[in-house]
């Protein structure tokens, strides 16, 4: 068993599997199952302390899962590229159009997050804070996808690397490539809505964009359908509409939550005044009598 496992280390096998991302999702599954299972077993809700402990454990497990994913991806890329022939290396960020659209989308997410945080403070409605806690990390991660990456092209595939992370995707995952004055695109095989799963880099940041993809023809055929300005405009419009719809849905959900909180507060306010009114009057009368 030791010899068999030594031929292909576990970390390398994990790095080449698409299921490695479950290491990040399992802790939150545990956080969701534990309160529900305990609630059904006990017949009542969990105490706040146990929920807090479960949440801390889920966050710790998520961070550990991030480390497992990064380490396994790095080991897999290093092992596959070790015996491969490197064709070209370059560093580039996402195309200017993608960066512009992503910046506006992130600004919308941050705006919705700030509105949720302010609304939770003004209305004393805790669920609105989840907008801030979920949208800010999501916006930060989305913006990080457009920053500069180190790209290595070899016969093993395309390696996209950051200072702390490397990811290798083999040539079987791609179907064609294309080079324009603005971007270098390697299209993914299969389902890729609006090109979101494609490899896209800014051609203006590459020293010789026409020469860099030329050796790729041995691994990936050139695209015969070069998108024109009309197709690019349609893609941009679709992305803008998707971002606008996402922001509108989030803002609409926040507005509904705010209206629900206001309605609940307005219904509970008269009852609270009625319940607390006689007690306050009695206390005031007692104090005045004691002073006399």
- Using CA atoms, how far residue 52 sits from 47, 120, 129, in Å, is 9, 20, 16
Residue given tokens 């050796």 in the structure block: 215
Q: Is residue 48 classed exposed, middle or buried when 0-12, 13-18 and 19+ CB atoms within 10 A define those classes?
A: exposed
CB atoms closer than 10 angstroms to residue 111:
15
- Mean of per-residue pLDDT scores for the chain: 72
Residues 223 and 177 sit within 8 Å (Cβ to Cβ): yes
Residue given tokens 């409605």 in the structure block: 125
Q: Which helix (H) or strand (E) holds 175?
A: strand 174-179
pLDDT above 70 covers a percentage of the chain that reads 61
CA angle 152, 200, 99 (to 5 degrees): 120
Residue 267 banded pLDDT, cuts 50, 70, 90: low
| Mean pLDDT in residue range 26-39 | 69
Kindly give, in sequence order, each residue whose CB lies less than 8 Å from that of residue 272, ignoring residues fewer than 6 positions away: none
Rounded distance, CA 259 to CA 284, Å?
36
What is 85-142 written as a DSSP string?
Answer: PEEEEEEE---HHHHHHHHHHHHHHHHHHHHHHHHHHHHT-GGGHHHHHHHHHHHHHH
Residue 125 banded pLDDT, cuts 50, 70, 90: confident
Residue 62: both structure tokens together = 């998520």
pLDDT at 38 over 60: yes
pLDDT digits (tens, 9 = 90+) for 13-31: 888 888 888 888 887 776 6
Q: Which residues pair with 89 in a beta bridge?
A: 152
pLDDT digits (tens, 9 = 90+) for 199-226: 899 988 887 655 555 556 667 766 644 4
Rounded distance, CA 102 to CA 257, Å?
27
pLDDT of amino acid 262: 55
Residues 168 and 77 sit within 8 Å (Cβ to Cβ): yes
Alpha-helical segments (H) within the chain = 2-7, 10-15, 22-42, 48-82, 96-123, 129-144, 229-291
pLDDT at 154 over 80: yes
């Amino acid at each position: 068993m030791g010899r068999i496992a030594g031929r292909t280390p576990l970390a390398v096998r994990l790095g080449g599997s698409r299921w490695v991302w479950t290491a990040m999702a399992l802790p939150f599954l545990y956080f969701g199952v534990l309160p529900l299972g305990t609630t059904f077993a006990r017949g009542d809700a969990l105490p706040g302390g146990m929920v807090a402990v479960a949440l801390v454990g889920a966050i710790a497990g998520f961070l550990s899962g991030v480390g497992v994913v990064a380490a396994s991806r790095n080991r897999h890329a290093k092992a596959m590229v070790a015996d491969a022939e490197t064709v070209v290396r370059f560093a580039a960020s996402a195309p200017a159009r993608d960066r512009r659209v992503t910046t506006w989308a992130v600004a919308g997410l941050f705006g919705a997050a700030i509105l949720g945080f302010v609304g939770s403070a003004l209305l004393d409605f805790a669920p609105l804070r989840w907008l801030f806690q979920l949208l800010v990390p999501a916006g930060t991660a989305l913006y990080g996808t457009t920053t500069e990456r180190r790209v290595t092209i070899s016969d093993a595939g395309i390696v996209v690397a950051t200072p702390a992370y490397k990811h290798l995707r083999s040539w079987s995952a791609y179907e064609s490539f294309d080079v324009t004055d603005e971007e270098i695109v390697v299209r993914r095989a299969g389902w890729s809505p609006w090109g979101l799963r494609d490899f896209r880099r800014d051609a203006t940041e590459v020293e010789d964009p026409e020469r860099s993809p030329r050796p790729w023809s041995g691994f990936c055929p050139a695209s015969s359908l070069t998108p024109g300005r009309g197709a690019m405009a349609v893609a941009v419009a679709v992305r803008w509409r998707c971002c606008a719809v996402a922001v509108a849905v989030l803002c609409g959900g926040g507005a509904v939550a705010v209206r629900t909180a206001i309605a609940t507060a307005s219904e509970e306010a008269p009852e609270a005044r009625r319940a607390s009114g006689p007690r306050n009057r009695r206390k005031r009368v007692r104090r005045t009598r004691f002073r006399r």
